[in-house]
């Protein structure tokens, strides 16, 4: 069986790796110059850094088994420390009662608790929005402090227009009560992924996992073509025939796995109804710009990453890679920070020149008091187009008929964050890749669109520890 995989991100390269182990002929076509997608690792100033913070954590045995198979013993457990920067204060996350009371002040903390109690007895109208859903779990004041600004930076739309599906997917059953219980018990018995305070991290950076998968694919006689963009999937009579490269070359395959942006894949199909194209045009993605700053100092702050909730700052998240594993620093006595900005393709921010971005990030970091401007030695800008699928309220009514149409096309699998319009973590995309390979070779009938939607039952019972996989 000859299979084409479009995209060498997490989902795509996992599929190729799994298919290779099952003796398929696999060709991977990646538009960019490296594998791993948003989970890639790059080298800057003689150090390794990821494309933003990518913490791997899963409770799924199949996903963890694969991760350990690829990584082996080349990982360490990282003690997570993340905080929220708001109103010139740093709040520990997960919640610590004493820390939160001290930063908010007794009066504001009382208001937040009162707001939460009001919500419990007089619940907001659940209109399907992220705003209404979170307020029902935390109250209006805590929503305004710890959810509203950050979420609107990320998505570029008001929280009242963001679908509650994002909250259900990411926050699940977490509420103020559960967060307080987690703080009191100091994490014992915690089942919420958002509150996990330790995770496994590869010694060579997150991208090491997917670089090893790609190496296995190539060493087995298959191909990973970098800088080779695919123009479209070619289908005829509801059956995939192959792919067309951007240079016009047609290649025939028995099956095609696509992780290219869902909207682009659907609109460029050789046979697609006009109403499906029109629906696909309504779906949007958000772009990311990461500004890396080289700081001539170590021990800037202890966090792995910070969430920036202050509305006066445009940046949304700051990652300090010196606080992950020492191996990626290569004994350099300087710190690399990654400052993230989110924007639309037609926004003024997306069209900033690199030097403008470096200046903006330097100025905003100085405002937090974490970095002295004189210590900033250099900067590098990394742009990622169409990386966050935007869950506008009611988006499922748009996505559902598109999914139904795509599912009717034989020999086509669409997976990944880009490919299936799903806000996946690494583990979700790995699972999609594994299940896609099973569908192709074993002829199973896994519904790939359902992965990362089974919110209640997603939690399994196995986790990676420093000694390997353990059952909880």
**Same-domain pairing of 397 and 378:** no
Do 384 and 423 have their domain in common? no
> What is the dihedral sign for C-alpha 9, 14, 17, 18?
negative
pTM for this prediction: 0.91
Query: Does any domain span residue 118?
Result: yes
* Same structural domain, 277 and 362: no
**CA 447 vs CA 7, 80, 403, 420, 431: distances in Å:** 20, 33, 11, 12, 12
Question: Does residue 83 sit within a domain?
Answer: no
Residue 195 belongs to some domain of the structure: no
181 shares a domain with 113 = yes
User: What pLDDT is recorded for position 458?
Assistant: 43
354 burial via Cβ count (<10 Å: 0-12, 13-18, 19+): middle
CB 292 within 8 A of CB 320: no
Q: In the listed set 156, 190, 224, which residue is the last one of a domain according to the structure?
A: 190
Query: Are residues 207 and 297 part of one domain?
Result: no
Supply the pLDDT for residue 172. 58
Residues 418 and 365 in one domain: no
The answer to whether residue 122 is domain-embedded is yes
Report the candidate in 81, 83, 93, 78 with the shortest Cα–Cα distance to residue 328.
78
Is the backbone peptide bond immediately before 153 cis, with ω within 30 degrees of 0? no
CA 463 to mean position of chain CA atoms: 20
Cα separation values, 10 from 13, 148, 434, Å: 6, 29, 11
User: pLDDT 10s digit of each residue in the chain, 472 long?
Assistant: 999 999 999 999 999 999 999 999 999 999 999 999 999 999 999 999 999 898 899 889 999 999 999 999 999 999 999 999 998 999 887 667 677 778 888 898 889 888 888 887 877 678 999 999 999 888 899 899 889 999 999 999 999 999 998 887 766 555 566 656 655 655 555 454 555 678 999 999 999 999 999 999 999 999 999 999 999 999 999 999 999 999 999 999 999 999 999 999 999 999 999 999 999 999 999 999 999 999 999 999 999 999 999 999 999 999 999 999 999 999 999 999 999 999 999 999 999 999 999 999 999 999 999 999 999 999 999 999 999 999 999 999 999 999 999 999 999 999 999 999 999 999 999 999 999 999 999 999 999 998 876 544 444 467 888 878 787 6
Report the number of distinct structural domains present in the chain.
3
Residue 131, domain extent = 95-190
Same domain, 347 and 437: no
The pLDDT value recorded for residue 176 is 60
Which domain-ending residue is among 161, 190, 219? 190
Same domain, 436 and 412: yes
359 and 413 co-located in one domain: no
* 244 and 322 assigned to the same domain: no
Does 470 reside within a domain? no
Distances (CA, A) of 110 to 122, 180, 195, 218: 18, 14, 23, 60
Same domain for 257 and 234:
yes
Q: What pLDDT shows up at residue 460?
A: 46
pLDDT at residue number 202: 97
**Domain harbouring 325, CATH code:** 3.90.660.20
- Output the pLDDT for position 472: 60
Q: For the chain, how far is it from start to end, CA to CA, in angstroms?
A: 39
pLDDT of residue 457: 45
Whether 289 and 385 share a structural domain: yes
469: in domain: no
Q: How far is CA 380 from the centre of its chain?
A: 21
Of 190, 213, 233, the position where a domain reaches its end is 190
Contact 5, 16 (CB under 8 A): yes
Phi, psi angle pair for 3, to nearest 5° = -125, 135
CA distance 286 to 166: 14
| Residue among 173, 229, 205 nearest 326 (CA) | 205
* Residue 471 within any structural domain of the chain: no
Residue with tokens 């992965």: 451
Strands 25-29 and 223-225: parallel
Q: Is 109 within a domain?
A: yes
């Amino acid at each position: 069986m000859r299979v084409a995989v479009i995209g060498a991100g997490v989902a795509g390269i996992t599929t190729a790796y799994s298919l290779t182990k099952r003796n398929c002929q696999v060709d991977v076509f990646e538009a960019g110059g490296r594998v791993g997608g948003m989970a890639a690792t790059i080298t800057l100033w003689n150090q390794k850094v990821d494309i933003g913070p990518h913490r791997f954590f899963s409770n799924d045995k199949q996903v963890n088994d694969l991760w350990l198979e690829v990584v082996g013993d080349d990982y360490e457990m990282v003690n997570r420390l993340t905080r929220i920067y708001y109103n010139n204060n740093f709040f520990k996350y997960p919640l610590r009662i004493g820390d939160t009371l001290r930063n908010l002040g007794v009066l504001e903390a009382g208001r937040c608790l009162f707001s939460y109690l009001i919500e419990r007895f007089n619940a907001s109208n659940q209109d399907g929005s992220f705003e209404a859903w979170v307020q029902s779990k935390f109250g209006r004041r805590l929503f305004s402090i710890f959810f509203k600004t950050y979420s609107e930076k990320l998505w570029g739309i008001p929280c009242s227009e963001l679908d509650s599906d994002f909250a259900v997917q990411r926050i699940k059953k977490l509420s103020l009560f559960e967060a307080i219980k987690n703080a009191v018990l100091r994490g014992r018995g915690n089942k919420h992924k958002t509150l996990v305070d330790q995770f496994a991290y590869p010694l060579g950076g997150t991208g090491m996992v997917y670089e090893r998968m790609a190496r296995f694919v190539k060493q087995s006689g298959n191909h990973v073509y970098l800088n080779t963009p695919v123009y479209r999937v070619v289908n005829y009579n509801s059956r995939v025939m192959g792919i067309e490269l951007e240079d016009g070359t047609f290649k025939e395959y028995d099956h095609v796995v696509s992780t290219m942006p869902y909207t682009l894949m659907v609109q460029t199909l050789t046979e697609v109804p006009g109403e499906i194209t029109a629906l696909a045009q309504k779906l949007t993605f958000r772009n990311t710009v990461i500004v890396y700053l080289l700081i001539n100092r170590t021990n800037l702050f202890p966090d792995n990453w910070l969430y920036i909730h202050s509305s006066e700052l445009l940046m949304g998240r700051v990652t300090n890679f010196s606080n992950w594993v020492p191996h990626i620093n290569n004994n350099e006595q300087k710190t690399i920070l990654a400052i993230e900005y989110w924007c639309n393709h037609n926004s003024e921010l997306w069209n900033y020149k690199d030097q403008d971005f470096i200046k903006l990030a330097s100025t905003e970091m100085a405002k937090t008091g974490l970095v002295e401007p004189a210590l900033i030695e250099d900067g590098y800008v990394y742009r990622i187009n169409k990386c966050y699928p935007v869950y506008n309220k009611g988006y499922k009514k748009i996505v559902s008929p598109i999914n139904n149409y795509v599912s009717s096309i034989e020999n086509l699998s669409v997976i990944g964050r880009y490919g299936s319009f799903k806000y996946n973590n690494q583990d979700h995309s790995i699972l999609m890749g594994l299940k896609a390979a099973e569908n192709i070779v074993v002829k199973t009938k896994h519904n790939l669109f359902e992965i990362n939607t089974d919110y209640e039952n997603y939690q399994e019972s196995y986790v990676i520890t420093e000694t390997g996989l353990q059952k909880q």
